[in-house]
Amino acid sequence: MGIVNLTPDSFSGDGLATDSARAIAHARHQIETGADLLDLGAESSRPGAKATVLDEELDRLLPVLDALAGCGVPISVDTYKPEVMRAAIAHGASMINDIYALRRPGALEAVAGSDCAVCLMHMRGEPLSMQQSPAYGDVLAEVRAFLGERVAASVAGGISRDRLVLDPGFGFGKTLEHNLELLRRFGELSSEGLPLLAGISRKSMLGAITGRPVGQRLPSSLAAALIAVQRGARILRVHDVAETRDLLAVWQALGPALRFA
Ligand code: 9MG
């Protein structure tokens, strides 16, 4: 899943908000270099981010979504607003990536009537304040219970299980130790039997480990991606598609018997 950031304040410095032509070119580049899926996001969810007003989010998103119609890969839209979900689906989105896991009023209903896939992500708190002393008794158990509850709510609301993807939400209301525990035990999150998505690319947890600024986190992003696929991630949400493709090619060359050894 190649990230296409349509915000002015992306943590990774790749925000393309003011220039749809550049955003479309970047999206096409992500596809040419091997993305199977794109994730378009027009509101920042980095720690400390303030909410974006609805019209601004739609103005950033829809021209890019329209330009990518027929681009050959499915498009995911990263939003928690039901109005944006409905518009995105009407404009051809195949997946809604919701950092609130359809908890906002009207979100579940906005996708239930479509055949769109949904990524249900775990987040403790909200972006503005989520990194202020996050605390868990057992982070893995709590994230897993949350995701299980969101699967049940989605299914009860009319979204079949085969449309769902689960994500522990690295960096969303978690300390470095919480993130590491989730990565170590990533495979245990799939008790629901649903595909898992890992989004670790360039995140601050990698900066905390390596001491590197965001522009120098490619090697650590690749290391984290490899650990996640070895533990069962089916979708990697990444900035650096070509490099992640190479990583996957090496891993896949091992053959099925050794891939998870
Ligand atoms: C929007 N966004 C930023 N980080 C993310 C992550 O780790 N997972 C998902 N699903 N979305 C994310």
Could you tell me if the CB of 237 is within 6 A of ligand 1? yes
To test ligand 1's pocket by mutation, which of 78, 119, 194 has the most ligand atoms within 8 angstroms of CB?
Answer: 78
Q: Are 170 and 203 in contact (CB under 8 A)?
A: yes
Question: What pLDDT does residue 128 have?
Answer: 83
Q: Does the C-beta of 100 come closer than 6 Å to ligand 1? A: no
Q: Which two three-digit tokens encode residue 121? A: 């992500």
In this structure, whether the domain defined by 2-259 belongs to CATH 3.40.250.10 is answered with no
**121 CA closest ligand 1 atom index:** 10
C-beta of 167 in contact with ligand 1 (< 6 A) = yes
For the CA of 97, the closest atom of ligand 1 is 10
Q: Per-domain residue ranges for the chain?
A: 2-259
Residue 170 CA: which ligand 1 atom is closest?
A: 7
Q: What is the pLDDT of residue 34?
A: 98
Q: Is the beta carbon of 151 within 6 A of some atom in ligand 1? A: no
Going by C-alpha positions, the residue among 30, 61, 23, 11 that lies closest to residue 206 is 11
- Pick the residue whose CA is nearest to atom 6 on ligand 1: 199
Would you name the residues annotated as active-site residues? Answer: 203, 237
pLDDT tens over the chain, length 261 residues: 999 999 886 666 666 656 889 999 999 999 999 999 999 999 988 888 888 899 999 999 999 999 999 999 999 999 999 999 999 999 999 999 999 999 999 999 999 999 999 999 999 988 887 788 889 999 999 999 999 999 999 999 999 999 999 999 999 999 999 999 999 999 999 877 899 999 999 999 999 999 999 999 999 999 999 999 999 999 999 999 999 999 999 999 997 777 676
Q: Residue 72 Cα, ligand 1 centroid: separation in angstroms?
A: 22
* CB distance 176 to 206 below 8 Å: no
**Chain CA centroid to CA 254, Å:** 27
> Hey, whose CA ends up nearest to atom 1 of ligand 1?
78
The reply to whether ligand 1 has any atom less than 6 angstroms from the CB of 197 is yes
Residue 58: predicted pLDDT: 96
Ligand 1 in reach of 170 Cβ (< 6 A): yes
Confirm whether pTM is higher than 0.75: yes
Looking at the CA of residue 199, tell me the nearest atom of ligand 1. Answer: 7
